[in-house]
């Protein structure tokens, strides 16, 4: 597989013998030449299992208030203490107010009671299953987003086709297709040594002369990426449309994703993560621990959407978390690990303003194992719909091994 | 310092297998090759030392690490307390106080941490320090131990029997796992190594066998009755899925599957799903005694499925209890697929990404002749013409760990761990982060497959940039050394 990938990529480059800039220019020219515009997916992982019942609140369920006397989000009412009414049954946590205009504009869709067929309540295993999209199978080596990249082999693949704004490559993007993990774009480059000489150029020459195809090809990608970032001048960036990103790590990650999307460096898959959701104790309701995380989460996504402007027409932002939390609050004012959860999708081809998925109800006998929100939509059906209807993959089967992916089960949230 | 670096440079120029290496005497190239494979690359003076005693004798010495003096290690590791602690000591001094603290906090009316769940506290920091100290220990041993092959093999076999320290309690278990389960056995009997991993708390926890139970037994987890399932027209497929999950409840197949696929037979080793289930049944009851008190392996008959099992055609009679698992391990070790799978993985690590079939055959045959004596299998590989052939010099891309340690060794750089870390030595904690930035978080490989051992596993643009930056950092302003350590040739071994 390796040799084929390298062959394809560098076979394709071989005709451009002058170095890096020409292939970059060639691609830009290609993009300007009327080819269909590239679609983008920005995947957001909420690590730690966000309490979906506090994100999109089923205020129409009496059982919700019975199970959560101390932490339920109040039903919509005048003032800003209650949920933001979405459809008379579900409401947004008021701290997600920055996302409310996207709902009204029908660009935000919600899939509730969504999750995994596997029963694990281990963060570790459940994140693994969601990122590999193979629930119950631990030995899958590549992530689902990497399998997407493999399925849509791009001979002109840009070095920034797939980027994780993270210190470590997330499981979802691990695999044979190229992806970059970087926590700070401004520091992506060859550092000058203490002697202060520009060592970058000599390394570029050395690797260009290397006979080893893997090293040679990887270095070509790396130096091209550095050059692109330099040309795009990422260290000086002004968000558009008055977008104000939170100064949090998540806000800054989305800001950098917007930079890459606008820099026209071939970004197709971006990945960001946000933690702090494992609220076993003192979760809070419209104020407190969880509310503060939601505030950061919502303001960052709202800023991203505003900043990307027209580029959102070709972009979907999808949020996910490994599982939901138990329906009933625990003795410490928090919630324990549960099952079904909520996913949000924002984008140009999203049929927003609707909550998708069958609502299973919260009465004890309707719950999963008597305690958790049941799963009525397999998360792979959400991923599958994005891969097929947004990213345009005709045959998604290789991306979802062991699962009979079928459009008949897609939630229907994309046009 | 300056003179030291010049000397280091002269050696690394020989060691890198690049243009200048081609002009070195043939025996020095052979020595460098062997040091790149059975050690973490040459330090200044190593090639001369090996030349003095002879290459064959050096290899033989390395095959008997217990005969090699390595006293300096004790002092170098002295400041890494958790690396020497037993599992029980770690649990008692770090895990239990942490649990107590959480419990107290839960009982407080306002919990104390309403706004910041990640609030810094010394107990949490100590818990996080365990894996960092373990990684520092790994770097120090690889950089300085005279028992180089043992360290190379500890890296190989830990990865073969991989556990991820981030899974739940594994962070408290992984130090002992590497030190007492894996490292002492890397040149011993494969059956012994396999059995020790099977009974280790780290593996029992990581692959969930500790909670696997006979679904019909008294201790199968209680399932809430779900009388309303299927109402409101659930599609039959989903219902079937849920029923399947229910049927599996109690029995956990994770360990059974990985035991065959990853630890012994290999994915094409000739087992079926039926074998996986039978093996899982055999291992029910292999669990942990008082896991929260740091307890070790125990057999709990109440979790065990006492019926007959048939594994790969061998009948294991009913009523065997704990011995069912031992019988399975015997069957697996004696299966020809295991000898081939282990031989080909070792040949891939030590010889080439495309293992020469004839050498794999001979190593596998040696495995069978010696009942899996790993020292003899290694001897077959390391004395083979395939291993010594100039055609396989410098054909392997180094893992980030191998790259970092070989750069430190080539530069003759000082590394200090724990509280000893002070300039001009490199702080081992910093090196742990650098290796992570190159794509290899030590003791944090999530899938049970372990990290890959071929070029494509390690090479991507971001990682390569970080490798070059690491070379520049280690060279500390010495342009020529930076060029040597950052060169394409130094990425390979």
Per-residue pLDDT of chain A (415 residues; tens, 9 = 90+): 333 333 333 333 333 222 333 333 333 333 433 445 689 999 999 999 999 999 999 999 999 999 999 999 999 985 668 999 999 999 999 999 999 999 999 999 999 999 999 998 888 889 999 999 999 998 888 999 999 999 987 766 778 899 999 877 899 998 888 888 888 888 888 887 555 556 677 899 999 999 888 899 889 888 988 888 888 887 789 999 999 999 999 999 999 999 999 988 889 999 999 998 989 888 999 999 999 999 999 999 999 999 999 999 999 999 999 999 999 998 889 999 999 999 999 999 999 999 999 999 999 999 999 999 999 999 999 999 999 999 999 999 999 999 999 999 999 999 8
pLDDT of B308 > 50? The answer is yes
Q: Please, which residues 131-160 of chain A have a Cβ atom closer than 8 Å to chain B? A: 138-141, 159
Buried b / exposed e over A73-99, threshold 16 CB at 10 Å, is bbebeeeeebbbbbeeebbbbbbbbbb
Q: Does the distance separating the beta carbons of B462 and A181 come in below 8 Å?
A: yes
Q: pLDDT band for position B468 (50/70/90)? A: very high
The answer to whether the beta carbons of residues A159 and A225 sit under 8 Å apart is: yes
Rounded Cα distance, A376 and A171, in Å: 25
pLDDT of residue B8: 44
SS (H, E, C) A344-358: EEEECCECCCCEECC
The whole model's pTM is what? 0.80
Judged against a pLDDT cut of 70, whether residue B112 lies above it is answered with no
pLDDT score, position B150: 98
**Tokens, residue B286:** 């292999």
Contact with chain A for residue B462, Cβ under 8 A: yes
Query: Between β-strands A84-85 and A162-164, what pairing exists: parallel, antiparallel or unpaired?
Result: unpaired
Q: How far apart are the first and last CA of chain A?
A: 35
Tell how strand B426-427 and strand B415-416 pair up.
parallel
Predicted local confidence at residue A99, as pLDDT: 98
* Chain B interface mutation, best of A203, A278, A332, highest count of B Cβ atoms under 10 Å: A203
Q: Among A169, A199, A282, select the one facing B111 at the smallest CB separation.
A: A282
How far apart are alpha carbons B249 and A119 in whole angstroms? 9
Q: Give the CA angle between residues B281, B286, B291 to the nearest 5°.
A: 140
Q: How far apart, in Å, are the Cα atoms of B70 and each of A11, A201, A236, B147, B458?
A: 50, 43, 53, 7, 31
Per the CB < 8 Å rule, is A167 touching B106? Answer: no
Confirm or reject contact between B461 and chain A (CB < 8 A). yes
Contact B113 A366 (CB under 8 A): no
Smallest Cβ–Cβ distance between B455 and the set A128, A195, A214 belongs to A214
Angle, in degrees to the nearest 10, between helices A199-208 and A213-232: 140
Q: Which residues of A167-204 are buried (b: 16+ CB within 10 A; e: fewer)?
A: ebbbbbbbbbbbbbbbbebeebbbeebeeeeebbebbb
Interface subset of B 366-385, CB within 8 angstroms of A: none
User: Token pair for residue A297?
Assistant: 């989460």
Of residues A148, A195, A76, the one with CA closest to residue A392: A148
B261 touches chain A (CB under 8 A): yes
Does B222 contact A at CB distance below 8 Å?
no
Q: Nearest to residue B149, comparing CAs of B28, B34, B11? A: B34
In CATH, what class is A36-192+243-409? alpha beta
Mutate to test the interface with B, among A121, A171, A214 (most CBs of B within 10 A): A214
| Closest CA–CA distance from residue B252 to any residue of chain A (Å) | 11
Distance of CA B113 to the CA centre of its chain: 36
Residue B371 C-alpha from the chain's centroid: 23
Contact map slice: A 4-23 vs B, CB within 8 A = 5
Closest Cα to residue A300, out of A46, A29, A62? A46
Q: How many CA atoms lie within 13 A of B94 on its CB side?
A: 22
**Contact status, residue A393 vs residue A386, Cβ threshold 8 Å:** no
pLDDT tens per residue, range B229-238: 333 333 344 4
Mean pLDDT of the B235-244 span: 41
Alpha carbon distance B27, B35 (integer Å): 12
Report CA torsion sign: B90, B93, B96, B99. Answer: negative
Q: Given pLDDT bands bounded at 50, 70 and 90, which one contains residue B4?
A: very low
Interface test with A, best of B116, B170, B396, B462 (most A CBs within 10 A): B462
Closest CA to A117 of B228, B241, B248, B257: B241
Q: Is A191 on the interface with B (CB under 8 A)?
A: yes
A186 in contact with chain B, both atoms CB, cutoff 8 A: no
C-alpha span between A63 and A40 (Å, rounded): 39
- The tokens for A379 are 């998360």
Give contacts of B 267-306 with A, CB under 8 A: none
Q: Where are the alpha helices (DSSP H) in B322-421?
A: 323-334, 336-350, 357-369, 374-382, 385-388, 400-411
Q: Tokens in use for B260?
A: 């065959």
Question: How far apart are alpha carbons A213 and A7 in whole angstroms?
Answer: 9
Q: Are the beta carbons of A351 and A305 closer than 8 angstroms?
A: no
B224–A139: do the CB atoms touch at under 8 Å? no
Asked if pLDDT for residue B240 goes beyond 80, the answer is no
- With tokens 């006397």, the residue in question is A69
Question: Using a CB-CB distance cutoff of 8 angstroms, which residues of chain A are in contact with residue B454?
Answer: 2
β pairing state of B286-288 and B297-299: antiparallel
Q: Is the minimum CB–CB distance between A371 and chain B shorter than 8 Å? A: yes
Q: Which chain B residues touch A207 with a CB distance below 8 Å?
A: 488
Token reading at A306: 């505003």
How many beta carbons lie within 10 A of that of residue B412, not counting itself? Answer: 18
**pLDDT 10s digits, B414-465:** 999 987 778 889 999 999 999 998 889 999 988 888 998 887 778 877 889 9
From the CB of residue B334, how many other CB atoms can be counted at a distance below 10 Å? 15
Q: How far apart are CA B332 and CA B195, in angstroms?
A: 11
Q: What is the CA radius of gyration of chain B?
A: 25
Give contacts of A 273-312 with B, CB under 8 A.
276, 278-279, 281-282, 284, 288-289, 292
Euclidean distance between CA atoms B448 and B207, whole angstroms: 8
Beta carbons of A138 and A402 less than 8 angstroms apart: no
Q: Is residue A352 within 8 Å of A106, Cβ to Cβ? A: yes
Burial B337-347 (b: 16+ CB within 10 A, else e): bbbbbbbbbbb
What is the Cα–Cα distance from B55 to B61, expressed in whole angstroms? 10
CB contact under 8 A, B483 and A179: no
Contact present, A372 and A340 (Cβ < 8 Å):
yes
- DSSP secondary structure code for residue A401 in this structure: T
Output the pLDDT for position A234. 77
Contacts 24+ apart (CB under 8 A), B97-103: B97/B123, B98/B123, B98/B124, B98/B127, B99/B292
pLDDT of residue B344: 97
Query: Measured between beta carbons, which residues in chain B are less than 8 angstroms from residue A202?
Result: 483
Give chain B's mean pLDDT.
87
Contact (CB<8Å) B488/A188: no
The distance between the two most distant Cα atoms of chain A, rounded to a whole number of Å, is 71
Element (H, E) at A201: helix A199-208
CA of A32 vs chain B CAs: smallest distance (Å): 26
Q: CB distance from B45 to chain A under 8 Å?
A: no
Q: Which two tokens stand for residue B270?
A: 């000739």
3-state secondary structure of A108: strand
Q: Which of residues 197-216 of A touch B (CB under 8 A)?
A: 197, 199, 202-203, 206-207, 209-210, 212, 214-216
Residues contacting residue B482 through CB under 8 Å, at least 6 positions apart:
A193, A199, B471, B472, B474, B475
Tell me which residue in B207, B479, B491 faces A215 most closely, judged by beta carbons: B491
How far is it, in rounded angstroms, from Cα B461 to Cα A22?
19
Helix (H) or strand (E) holding B125: helix B122-144
Cis peptide leading into B424, omega within 30 of 0? yes
Q: Do B115 and A122 touch (CB under 8 A)?
A: no
| Phi/psi of residue A342, nearest 5 degrees | -120, 145
**Spatial separation of the C-alpha atoms in residues A280 and A266, rounded to whole Å:** 41
**Please, are residues A322 and A123 in contact by the beta-carbon 8 Å criterion?**
yes
B219 pLDDT band (50/70/90 cuts)? low
Least confident piece of the model among A104-113, B80-89, B91-100, B193-202:
B91-100
Q: List the beta bridge partners of residue B298.
A: B287
Inter-chain residue contact B464 with A141, CB threshold 8 Å: no
Q: Does A128 touch chain B (CB under 8 A)?
A: yes
- pLDDT in the model for residue A197: 54
Residue of chain B with shortest Cα separation from A203: B487
Residues B435, B427 contacting (CB under 8 angstroms) = no
Residues in chain B with CB shorter than 8 Å from the CB of A191 are 469, 472-473
How confident is the model at residue B439, as a pLDDT? 85
Pairing of strands A91-92, A40-46: unpaired
How far apart are alpha carbons B485 and B12 in whole angstroms? 8
How far is B60 from chain A, CA to nearest CA, in Å? 32
Q: Does B98 contact chain A (CB < 8 Å)? A: no
Put simply, the answer to whether B465 touches A226 (Cβ < 8 Å) is yes
Find, among B248, B222, B328, the residue nearest to B282 by Cα. Answer: B328
């Amino acid at each position: 597989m390796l040799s084929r990938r390298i062959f394809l990529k560098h076979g394709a480059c071989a005709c451009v013998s002058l170095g890096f800039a020409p292939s970059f220019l060639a691609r830009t020219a290609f993009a300007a030449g009327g080819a269909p515009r590239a679609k983008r997916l920005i995947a957001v992982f909420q690590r730690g299992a966000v309490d979906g019942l506090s994100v999109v609140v089923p205020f129409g369920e009496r059982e919700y208030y019975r199970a959560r006397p101390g932490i339920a989000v109040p039903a919509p009412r005048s003032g800003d203490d209650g949920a933001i009414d979405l459809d008379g049954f579900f409401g947004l946590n008021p701290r997600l107010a920055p996302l409310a205009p996207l709902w009204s504009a029908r660009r935000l869709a919600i899939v509730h009671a969504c999750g995994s067929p596997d029963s694990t309540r281990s963060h570790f295993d459940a994140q693994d299953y969601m990122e590999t999209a193979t629930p119950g199978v631990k030995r899958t080596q590549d992530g689902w987003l990497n399998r997407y990249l493999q399925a849509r082999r791009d001979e002109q693949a840009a070095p920034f086709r797939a980027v994780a704004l993270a210190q470590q490559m997330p499981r979802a993007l691990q695999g044979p297709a190229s992806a970059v993990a970087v926590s700070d774009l401004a520091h992506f480059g060859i550092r000058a040594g203490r002697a202060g000489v520009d060592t970058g150029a000599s390394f570029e020459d050395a690797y260009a002369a290397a006979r080893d195809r893997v090293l040679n090809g990887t270095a070509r990608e790396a130096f091209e990426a550095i050059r692109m970032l330099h040309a795009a001048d990422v260290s000086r960036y002004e968000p558009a449309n008055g977008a104000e990103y939170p100064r949090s790590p998540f806000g800054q990650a989305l800001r950098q994703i917007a930079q890459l999307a606008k820099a026209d460096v071939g970004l197709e898959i971006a990945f960001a993560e946000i933690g702090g959701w494992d609220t076993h104790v003192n979760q809070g309701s419209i104020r407190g621990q969880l509310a503060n995380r939601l505030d950061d989460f919502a303001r960052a996504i709202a800023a991203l959407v505003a900043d990307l402007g027209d580029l959102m027409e070709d972009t979907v932002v999808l949020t996910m978390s490994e599982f939901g939390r138990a329906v009933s609050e625990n003795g410490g004012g928090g919630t324990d690990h549960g099952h079904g959860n909520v996913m949000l999708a924002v984008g140009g081809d999203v049929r927003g303003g609707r909550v998708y998925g069958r609502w299973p109800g919260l009465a004890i006998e309707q719950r999963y194992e008597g305690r958790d929100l049941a799963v009525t939509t397999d998360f792979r059906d959400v991923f599958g719909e994005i891969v097929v209807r947004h990213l345009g993959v005709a045959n998604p089967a290789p991306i979802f091994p062991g699962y009979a992916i079928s459009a008949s089960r897609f939630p229907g949230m994309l046009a | 310092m300056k003179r030291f670096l010049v000397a280091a440079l002269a050696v690394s120029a020989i060691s890198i297998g690049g243009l200048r290496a081609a002009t070195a005497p043939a025996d020095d190239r052979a020595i460098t090759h062997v040091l790149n494979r059975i050690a973490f690359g040459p330090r200044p003076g190593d090639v001369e030392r090996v030349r003095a005693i002879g290459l064959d004798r050096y290899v033989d010495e390395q095959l008997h690490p217990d005969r090699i003096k390595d006293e300096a290690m004790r002092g170098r590791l002295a400041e890494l307390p958790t690396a020497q602690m037993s599992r029980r000591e770690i649990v008692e001094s770090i895990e239990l106080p942490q649990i107590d603290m959480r419990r107290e906090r839960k009982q407080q009316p306002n919990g104390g941490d309403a706004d910041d769940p990640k609030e810094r506290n010394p107990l949490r920091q100590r818990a996080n320090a365990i894996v960092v100290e373990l990684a520092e220990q790994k770097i120090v041993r690889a950089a300085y131990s005279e028992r180089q092959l043992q360290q190379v093999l500890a890296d190989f076999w830990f990865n073969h029997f991989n556990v991820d320290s981030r899974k739940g309690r594994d962070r408290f278990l992984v130090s002992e796992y590497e030190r007492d389960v894996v490292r002492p056995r890397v040149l011993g009997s494969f059956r012994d190594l396999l059995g020790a991993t099977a009974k280790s708390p780290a593996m029992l926890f990581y692959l969930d066998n500790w909670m696997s139970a006979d679904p019909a037994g008294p201790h199968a987890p209680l399932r809430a009755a779900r009388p309303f399932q299927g109402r409101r027209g659930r599609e039959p497929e989903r219902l079937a899925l849920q029923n399947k999950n229910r049927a599996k409840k109690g029995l956990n197949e994770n360990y059974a599957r990985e035991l065959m696929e990853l630890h012994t037979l290999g994915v094409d080793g000739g087992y079926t799903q039926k074998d996986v289930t039978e093996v899982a049944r055999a291992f029910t009851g292999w669990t942990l005694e008082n896991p929260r008190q740091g307890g070790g392996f125990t057999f709990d008959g109440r979790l065990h499925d006492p019926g007959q099992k048939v594994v790969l055609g061998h009948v294991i009679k009913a009523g065997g209890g704990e011995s069912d698992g031992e019988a399975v391990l015997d069957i697996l070790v004696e299966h020809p697929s295991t000898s081939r799978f282990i031989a080909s993985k070792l040949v891939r690590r030590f010889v080439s990404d495309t293992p020469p079939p004839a050498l794999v055959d001979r190593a596998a045959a040696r495995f069978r002749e010696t009942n899996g004596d790993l020292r003899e299998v290694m001897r077959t590989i390391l004395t083979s013409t395939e291993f010594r052939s100039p055609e396989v010099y410098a054909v392997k891309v180094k893992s980030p760990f191998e790259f970092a340690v070989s750069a430190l060794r080539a530069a003759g750089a000082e590394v200090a761990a724990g509280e000893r870390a002070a300039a001009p030595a490199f702080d081992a904690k910093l090196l742990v982060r650098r290796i992570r930035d190159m794509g290899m978080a030590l003791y944090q490989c999530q899938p049970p497959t372990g990290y890959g051992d071929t070029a494509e596993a390690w090479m991507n643009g971001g990682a390569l940039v970080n490798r070059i930056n690491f070379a520049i950092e280690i060279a500390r302003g010495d342009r020529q050394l930076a060029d040597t350590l950052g060169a394409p040739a130094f990425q390979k071994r």
